[in-house]
Amino acid sequence: MDSSSAEVAYDFSPLLKVYRDGRVERLIGTDFAAPSPDDPNTGVRSHDVVISQEVPISARLFAPKIIGPGHKLPLLVYFHGGGFVIETPFTAQYHNYLNSVVSAANVVAVSVDYRRAPEHPVPAAFDDSWTSLKWVASHSSGNGSQELLNRHVDFEKVFFAGDSAGATIAHHMAIRVGAEGLPGVNLEGIILVHPFFWGVEPIGSEKTGARERSFADNLWRFVCPRTEGSDDPIMNPAKDPKVGSLGCRKILVCVAEKDALKERGWYYKEAVEKSGWKGMVEVMEAKDEGHVFHLFNPTCDNALAMLNTIVSFINQG
């Protein structure tokens, strides 16, 4: 056996390792949870769809167990996290979380399976997400490929959401909606859970987290080799001249007290408010919690409180 097959070129534990021979070993987020016509805990039904075959993009669709004839529900388009390198909509954590959100909020959801780095460096994840949104919008006339979306989605009440890297994607998809439009879709709001934003200059508690700063900087350069660094507008909204063009009217940002990315969530609120954008931004902070704690411990008090806040954000007028 070639010794290069065991030699590590990049080590981003606990996420993944890449070996000298090019082999990628994802250390977590590799399981598969099958869709269900009747989730035993929530009654939510789900099925998988192919959005694009030329560029392989798929999604998992979720809906409440019972939707009355002719009844239309808000739509949540969800982008999973994982640092752009791990996880899919089909892992148990994301499948179960979307079941919970759909049940509690009484919405239809589309959970997007975008291509991941390093095999497909950024901006592939963003390109795939936009392709997915155009596919979703193709149902607004009632003539799309999925009857669930044709019959039971109110395209005047659409929300984007995501956690970590998925929150980064959701933010940029909202900017693109504002800049280019998404015919047939009214984007009401976006929900950013522990967004993966960063920057060259440390802010707040980041000043004492040298290890965390190095990890975030290096991971970003790894997933986006063409970047000039962590002040790239993709990662630092304060450096993005387009941030004021967000195509929604309200934003919910969820942060966690012990998350290394917490300061960036609060800073995002400042950046958006200073940009001239006319909408409303609110931030919810979970005390004594770490990054994406709600996926690991979905029934804890803080996770349930965050879920309730998300549900209220979607359903309030």
Residue with tokens 């998809």: 173
Residues across the chain: 317
Asked about 120 being catalytic, the answer comes back as no
Beta bridge partners of 46: 62
Residue with tokens 């200073």: 274
Which residue among the candidates 140, 232, 259, 294 is catalytic per the annotation? 259
Asked about 205 being catalytic, the answer comes back as no
Which residue among the candidates 129, 132, 164, 230 is catalytic per the annotation? 164
Q: Supply the DSSP string of 143-187, one letter for each residue.
A: -SS-HHHHHHEEEEEEEEEEETHHHHHHHHHHHHHHHH--TT--E
Asked about 301 being catalytic, the answer comes back as no
Residue 277 in tokens: 């954008």
Q: How far apart are CA 91 and CA 18, in angstroms?
A: 21
Nearest Cα to 190, choosing from 207, 220, 169? 169
Which residue among the candidates 95, 152, 194, 291 is catalytic per the annotation? 291
Residue 280 in tokens: 């409303």
Decide: 87 and 30 in contact? Cβ < 8 Å: no
Q: Quick one: how far is CA 91 from the chain centroid?
A: 14
Cβ partners under 8 Å of residue 137, min gap 6: 155, 182, 183, 184, 185
Active site residues: 164, 259, 291
